Amino acid sequence: MGTKYAESGVDVRKRGVEAFRDVLDNLFPDAFCVISEDPHAPGYGMVTHVDGAGSKPVQAYLHWRETGEINWFKGLAQDALAMNIDDIICVGALPINFVDYIAINPFRVDKIGALKALSLGFKESLEVLESQSVKVLFSGGETADLPDQLRTLDIAVAMNGRVKLCEALTGVEVKPGDVIIGFRSGGKTKYERKENSGIMCNGLTLARLCLMHKSYQEKYPEILEASDGGRTYYGRFRLDDYIDDLGMTVGEALLSPTRLYAPVILKIIERFGEHISGMVHNTGGGQTKCLRIGRNIHYIKDDLFEPDPIFLLIQRESGESWRAMFENYNMGVGFEIIAKPEAADDIISLSEKFGLEAKIVGACGKSSGGNKLTIKSSHGVLHYP
């Protein structure tokens, strides 16, 4: 692919997953998530989604080893939770319950301490959701000791949701003339405790390699797979280096937990659902994630938020192209709603009542050869695919 992210060992386009399409029980192939018909509840669809915290656990492990503070693992629970709940709501599904999967190398990680920290992270995240009238049940999970398979630890969540089939966002509702409303990934909402860098869970492999000092790799060789001799940490920063533009340390920026958009988005669906054509959680694929929904739509994003400082720092230190940056990262817009123009002001106003900044970042046009995307920003005009 010729990008720094690919060189770091990650394929943002997830080539190979198409092998599973023929075996999926999916009612709506163009929907953001798989929707399967509920065999026991006619007229309803089941949405089951699984995702994890990416390579953030490696960064949390590094913080723990350097500081001795076990609670650096705590934010990973919100990461794993948000990466699932904010995906399933994209098809209009209401979350029901979830289970977790935590795999640990007990020879390297304080298993008891890490599990306590993660448990506290889930507890706090669920309290935040419930305080905003979002009820989701924690139904247990699995903890695995895998010393021969893992260098440090991994965490994932599988979540169940349900949607009335007549109300599901199937992907085909997106039409030319719809507007794209973007919701900030950085900053601080009224229901959050601290400022967020906006990075969420994607692109952490490149971010770690280009920002963290090589001495960490030498001190803790388990934080990097370098068997081919080519991959290395090449950054110039320490965990506790404070960057004025970030408003926090580099380590804090990398471990900022993925925003829980569900409290805001579910309220928007409740109030303005009939005006919504589609929704996108900008995780893997970043600003190009919208290409997976709709048919023959030309997405034009010409008024995005200026990328949060963490993305500018990663681009500068890695030398990654702007084209790849917008494909690797959310670049400051973590969630998008595609809606009819007449509802845009009301949707934005409701979001801002939560302290979540939102604005129209673009619009939908017509494409004659499948979906395409044009991004116009101060960093150039970019075309995808």
Mean pLDDT of successive 10-residue stretches along the chain, which has 385 residues: 69 68 83 95 97 97 98 98 98 98 98 98 98 98 97 98 97 97 98 97 96 97 83 96 98 98 98 98 97 97 98 98 97 98 98 98 96 97 96
Q: Is 226 contained in some domain?
A: no
Q: Is 217 contained in some domain?
A: no
Residue type, 82: A
Q: Is 216 contained in some domain?
A: no
The CA dihedral of 210, 122, 354, 173, to the nearest 10 degrees, is 80
Report pLDDT for 3.
Answer: 82
Q: How many domains does the chain have?
A: 1
Q: Is 303 contained in some domain?
A: yes
302: CATH: 3.90.650.10
Residue type, 58: V
Report pLDDT for 319.
Answer: 97
Report pLDDT for 24.
Answer: 78
Report pLDDT for 45.
Answer: 98
Q: Is 207 contained in some domain?
A: no
Tokens found for residue 206: 């490149």
- 41-92 pLDDT tens trace: 999 999 999 999 999 999 999 999 999 999 999 999 999 999 999 999 999 9
Q: Is 359 contained in some domain?
A: yes
Q: Is 44 contained in some domain?
A: yes
Q: Is 172 contained in some domain?
A: yes
Report pLDDT for 18.
Answer: 73
Which residue range forms the structural domain that includes residue 331?
4-195+255-384
Angle at Cα 76 formed by Cα 144 and Cα 347, nearest 5°?
135
Angle at Cα 203 formed by Cα 307 and Cα 280, nearest 5°?
65
Is 165 within 8 Å of 345 (Cβ atoms)? no
How far apart CA 26 and CA 38 sit, in angstroms, is 11
Report pLDDT for 8.
Answer: 66
